[in-house]
């Protein structure tokens, strides 16, 4: 973390005769807040450019004949400000504006979603007049089909400014003029922004409402709980609103260090999975070969016996959704209970180079590059990383930095994307798999930040090159994983050869210390580094494993879904800890239902390395955490781990000191693929398992297409709009070809969207060789 020691220049002024000192450049409205004076406001929003349109915040400034908008005027030395508290001029001006705002506003508060949490309603009460003097006809607009009530709109332009300034998706705009002015979208281009939900939240009236939440609840019936988003590694603070044990909605919570006041639509809307189609009871495969509901006692017993019987040939596939506490519990269970180091959270393509990179550079490194650093950096280089899809809050923060004009962004990626356009990025169009040389050629300095994404793992030499580049140039390097639990899993040691907090399993003193903390004999812990996810799958396919413990893995994420399923089928005994039925639970011998994020407390470590603690939002469901379930299994295996509640796990993990002997940094040379390669990443809104059951969200996903350079297309006799077939030896995908501004000899596919199921159908990773041909026709 960078600590900014620049002294802040202060300005002294008086507000309502009270002297106050605030940093130079502070807006009057903010200075007043510091004194506890709430000046009314609608268009004002601290994260949007001032517009001074609503005029609700007019205040008197000594020496000025007219009242001035406090939301747009900055403080000056010696300024004398009078708000409604001490100025008749300000009070009358504010009341007048409030009256104007209400003349055309429908009095439908009783049926309006915003009722009860509405800035207009609230400020009408505090700063308005009791009775309306307006006796004319209120303005009406034709009802459009989308969810906006334009009569309620006060033309504050928060939504349009958000879309334009913050998201860079100006598909919502003010239409018409004067008293007919209204917010609208174009008929033929819907508001398909990954961030559209924020406009609902910042609407100061009920003009924009959520299709999902509309007419469903009242704010005063909701219990609000601070939570952390589980959908990616951005680490957004959320507010989850609960009614009678059900999540009614999720909002972005204000966290200036992380998500500011925003979140993405996935984080906001993708929560039906927490209550629909859940596993509610343990299942045990009977002699009839079918899964049957079982008691917890029975299921735990079967699991314990099966795992004990497989001793010496067990492995753990952990997935990337866990809280750090659960990840730690799994890490510990593998080593201390199962005695195996065959453990890995990376259910997506990975490499030994990545294992080394994560173990040496990332694990236990604490808070590294921060959002604030991104905002201050002169140059940010995106390597194999698409922030808009893979970490939307990084996208927003970079856009903010770029709009301020201090930061430039370079993207090493296959083609110009909508996301990097919004960052005004210099795109170094690079065929997938060829990123190493592109990165090596960049001239970087200490004011640069390199952000490297998940798919770097499948480009040989890239993580080595990034590490080296950072070291040589003094640039800062951060790894941005895609999943909320990935960084915590690394810190918890869910990798072969890696103990918690970056300690190496092969470091005997570290291993001793672990045995001590875990209260087991040193010699029960594995002493050689185990197999990674791919190697475990490979071994299992070959029948080399007797038991698998699988937690929160979706086969669709794994390098080749069919192989993963084969691995499970070929393993005699499989225990699955899951939240919902899946193709893995179907094959498991024992299925143990576990809690989702809303049902437990815990911590996600975001990409920065920042712990994001959250409490339990829903208590009614009585679901157990992975840690508790594993403690019960351990108990049944005669290994006493204690309760393994969240607090215990957290405290235990903290006992792992920083490593004295780190794993060596990776040193892999580039291995450039020779042929047409696949560029691929997961789009933000796709067919991910946690997004199920939200049709409004799914409707905003992007079209499934294959993107390729026109020259490459021509070389394969492909015209834009043609259906093309992308193949590997394992299968093929047929989608429409769209020309993109990008590198030759590479084709882009979304990893897990509609027809394009890269893992399932191609068994391929980013940078792998694929073949393309025209297929299907128009």
Q: Residues in the site for another protein, rule: CB under 8 A?
A: 50-56, 58, 65-67, 72, 93, 96-97, 99-101, 103-104, 133-137, 139, 154-155, 169-181, 184-189, 191
Residue 181 vs 246, nearer CB to another protein: 181
CA angle 130/134/135 to nearest 5° reads: 125
H or E element, residue 634: helix 626-636
User: Least CB distance from residue 52 to another protein, whole Å?
Assistant: 6
**Which residues are CB-neighbours of 638 under 8 A, at least 6 positions away?**
none
β 746-750/677-681 pair status: parallel
Please spell the DSSP secondary structure of 97-150, one letter per residue.
HHHHHHHTS-S-GGG-TTTTS-HHHHHHHHHS-SS----SPPP--PPPSSSB-G
The full 3-state SS of 726-754, as one line of letters, equals EEECCEEEEEEEEECCECCCEEEEECEEC
User: Least CB distance from residue 294 to another protein, whole Å?
Assistant: 55
Residue 90 vs 537, nearer CB to another protein: 90
Residue 175 vs 738, nearer CB to another protein: 175
User: How many CA within 13 A on the CB side of residue 172?
Assistant: 29
Please check whether residue 264 is in contact with residue 684, taking contact to mean a CB–CB distance below 8 angstroms.
yes
Residue 95 vs 716, nearer CB to another protein: 95
User: Least CB distance from residue 501 to another protein, whole Å?
Assistant: 47
CA–CA separation, 623 and 284 (whole Å):
18
Residue 176 vs 664, nearer CB to another protein: 176
Please check whether residue 182 is in contact with residue 141, taking contact to mean a CB–CB distance below 8 angstroms.
yes
User: Least CB distance from residue 172 to another protein, whole Å?
Assistant: 6
CA–CA separation, 713 and 317 (whole Å):
40
CA–CA separation, 580 and 276 (whole Å):
9
Residue 156 vs 726, nearer CB to another protein: 156
Alpha helices in 637-715 (DSSP H): 646-654, 695-698, 710-715
User: Least CB distance from residue 568 to another protein, whole Å?
Assistant: 47
> Strand, helix or coil at 537?
helix
Residue 600 is encoded by which pair of tokens?
């437990």
Please check whether residue 27 is in contact with residue 72, taking contact to mean a CB–CB distance below 8 angstroms.
yes
Residue 57 is encoded by which pair of tokens?
């915040």
User: Least CB distance from residue 188 to another protein, whole Å?
Assistant: 6
Please spell the DSSP secondary structure of 147-194, one letter per residue.
SB-GGG-----HHHHIIIIII----EEEES-GGG-EEEEBTTB----T
User: Least CB distance from residue 17 to another protein, whole Å?
Assistant: 23
Q: How many residues does the chain have?
A: 778
User: Least CB distance from residue 778 to another protein, whole Å?
Assistant: 18
Instruction: Tell me how far apart the terminal alpha carbons of the chain are, to the nearest angstrom.
Output: 53
User: Least CB distance from residue 139 to another protein, whole Å?
Assistant: 7
Residue 183 vs 632, nearer CB to another protein: 183
User: Least CB distance from residue 51 to another protein, whole Å?
Assistant: 7
**Which residues are CB-neighbours of 548 under 8 A, at least 6 positions away?**
314, 315, 316, 317, 536, 540, 567, 568, 571, 573, 574, 575
CA–CA separation, 228 and 602 (whole Å):
9
Residue 65 vs 290, nearer CB to another protein: 65
Residue 177 vs 287, nearer CB to another protein: 177
Residue 96 vs 775, nearer CB to another protein: 96
Closest C-alpha to 370, from 407, 398, 390: 398
- For residue 11, the cross-strand partners are 22
Alpha helices in 310-434 (DSSP H): 324-332, 352-357, 371-376, 387-390, 392-403, 418-422
User: Least CB distance from residue 93 to another protein, whole Å?
Assistant: 5
User: Least CB distance from residue 60 to another protein, whole Å?
Assistant: 11
CA–CA separation, 39 and 58 (whole Å):
8
Quote the distance between the C-alpha of residue 67 and its chain's center: 43
User: Least CB distance from residue 741 to another protein, whole Å?
Assistant: 12
User: Least CB distance from residue 178 to another protein, whole Å?
Assistant: 4
Residue 51 vs 670, nearer CB to another protein: 51
Residue 157 vs 492, nearer CB to another protein: 157
User: Least CB distance from residue 69 to another protein, whole Å?
Assistant: 8
Residue 199 vs 576, nearer CB to another protein: 199
User: Least CB distance from residue 738 to another protein, whole Å?
Assistant: 15
Residue 106 vs 754, nearer CB to another protein: 106
User: Least CB distance from residue 189 to another protein, whole Å?
Assistant: 4
CA–CA separation, 253 and 437 (whole Å):
41
User: Least CB distance from residue 59 to another protein, whole Å?
Assistant: 11
β 723-728/771-777 pair status: antiparallel
Closest C-alpha to 227, from 591, 612, 563: 612
Residue 189 vs 778, nearer CB to another protein: 189
3-state DSSP: the chain helix, strand, coil percent, rounded to 5? 30, 20, 45
Residue 93 vs 299, nearer CB to another protein: 93
Residue 58 vs 494, nearer CB to another protein: 58
Residue 583: CB atoms within 10 A of its CB come to 14
Please spell the DSSP secondary structure of 1-48, one letter per residue.
-----PPPPEEEEEETTEEEEEETT-BHHHHHHHTT-----SS--TTS
Residue 9 vs 135, nearer CB to another protein: 135
Closest C-alpha to 155, from 101, 78, 92, 193: 101
């Amino acid at each position: 973390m960078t600590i900014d020691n620049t002294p802040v220049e202060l300005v002294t002024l008086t507000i309502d005769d009270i002297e106050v000192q605030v940093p130079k450049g502070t807006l009057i409205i903010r200075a007043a807040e510091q004194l506890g004076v709430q000046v009314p406001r609608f268009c004002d929003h601290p994260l949007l450019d001032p517009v001074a349109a609503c005029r609700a915040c007019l205040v008197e400034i000594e020496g000025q004949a007219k009242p001035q908008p406090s939301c747009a005027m900055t403080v000056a030395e010696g300024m004398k400000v009078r708000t409604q508290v001490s100025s008749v001029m300000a009070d009358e001006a504010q009341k007048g504006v409030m009256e104007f705002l209400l003349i055309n506003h429908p009095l439908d508060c009783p049926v309006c979603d915003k009722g009860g949490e509405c800035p207009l309603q609230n400020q009408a009460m505090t700063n308005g007049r009791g009775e309306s003097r307006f006796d004319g006809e209120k303005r009406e607009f034709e009802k459009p089909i989308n969810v906006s009530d334009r009569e309620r709109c006060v033309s504050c332009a928060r939504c349009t400014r958000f879309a334009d300034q913050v998201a860079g998706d100006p598909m919502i705009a003010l239409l018409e003029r004067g008293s007919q002015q209204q917010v609208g979208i174009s008929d033929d281009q819907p508001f398909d922004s990954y961030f559209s939900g924020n406009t609902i939240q910042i609407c100061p009236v009920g003009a924009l409402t959520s299709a999902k939440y509309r007419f469903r609840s009242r704010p005063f019936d909701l219990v609000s709980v601070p939570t952390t988003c589980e959908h990616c590694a951005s680490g957004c603070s959320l507010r989850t609103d609960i009614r009678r044990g059900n999540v009614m909605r999720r909002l972005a919570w204000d966290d200036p260090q992380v998500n500011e006041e925003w979140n993405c639509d996935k984080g906001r809307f993708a929560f039906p999975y927490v209550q629909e189609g859940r596993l509610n009871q343990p299942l045990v495969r009977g002699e009839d070969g079918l899964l049957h509901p079982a008691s917890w006692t029975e299921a735990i017993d079967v699991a314990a016996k099966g795992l004990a019987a497989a001793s010496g040939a067990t492995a753990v596939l952990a997935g990337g959704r866990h809280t750090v506490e659960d990840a730690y519990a799994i890490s510990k269970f593998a080593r201390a209970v199962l005695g195996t180091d065959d453990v890995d959270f990376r259910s997506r393509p990975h490499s030994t180079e990545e294992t080394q990179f994560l173990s040496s550079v990332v694990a236990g490194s604490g808070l590294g590059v921060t959002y604030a650093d991104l905002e201050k950096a002169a140059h940010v280089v995106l390597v194999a990383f698409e922030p808009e899809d893979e970490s939307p809050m990084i996208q927003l923060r970079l856009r903010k930095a770029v709009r301020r004009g201090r930061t430039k962004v370079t993207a090493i990626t296959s083609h110009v994307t909508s996301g990097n356009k919004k960052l005004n990025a210099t795109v170094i169009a690079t065929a997938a798999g060829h990123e190493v040389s592109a990165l090596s050629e960049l001239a970087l300095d200490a004011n640069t930040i390199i952000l490297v994404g998940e798919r770097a793992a499948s480009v040989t030499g890239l993580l080595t090159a990034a590490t080296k580049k950072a070291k040589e140039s003094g640039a800062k390097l951060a790894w941005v994983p895609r999943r909320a639990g990935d960084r915590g899993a690394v810190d918890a040691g869910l990798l072969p050869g890696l103990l918690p907090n970056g300690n190496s399993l092969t470091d005997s003193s570290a291993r001793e210390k672990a045995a001590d903390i875990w209260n087991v004999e040193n010699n029960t812990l594995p002493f050689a580094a185990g197999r990674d996810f791919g190697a475990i799958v490979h071994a299992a396919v070959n029948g080399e494993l007797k038991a698998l413990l699988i937690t929160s893995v979706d086969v669709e994420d794994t390098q080749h879904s069919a192989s993963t399923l084969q691995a499970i089928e070929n393993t005699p005994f499989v225990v699955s800890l899951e939240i919902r039925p899946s193709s893995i639970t179907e094959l498991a011998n024992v299925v143990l239902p576990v809690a989702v994020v809303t049902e437990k407390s815990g911590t996600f470590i975001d990409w920065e390395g920042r712990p994001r603690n959250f409490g339990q939002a829903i208590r009614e469901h009585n679901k157990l955490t992975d840690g508790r379930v594993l403690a019960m299994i351990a108990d049944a295996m005669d290994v006493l781990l204690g309760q393994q509640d969240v607090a215990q796990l957290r405290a235990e993990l903290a006992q792992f000191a920083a490593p004295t002997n780190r794993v060596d940094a990776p040193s892999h040379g580039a291995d450039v693929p020779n042929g047409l390669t696949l560029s691929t990443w997961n789009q933000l809104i796709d067919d991910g398992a946690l997004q199920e059951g939200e049709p409004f969200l799914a409707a905003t996903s992007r079209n499934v297409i294959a993107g390729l350079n026109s020259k490459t297309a021509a070389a394969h006799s492909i015209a834009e709009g043609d259906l093309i077939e992308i193949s590997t030896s394992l299968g093929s995908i047929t989608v429409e070809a769209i020309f993109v501004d990008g590198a030759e000899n590479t084709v882009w596919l979304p990893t897990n969207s509609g027809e394009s199921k890269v893992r399932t159908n191609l068994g391929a990773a980013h940078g792998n060789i694929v073949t393309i041909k025209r297929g299907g026709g128009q």
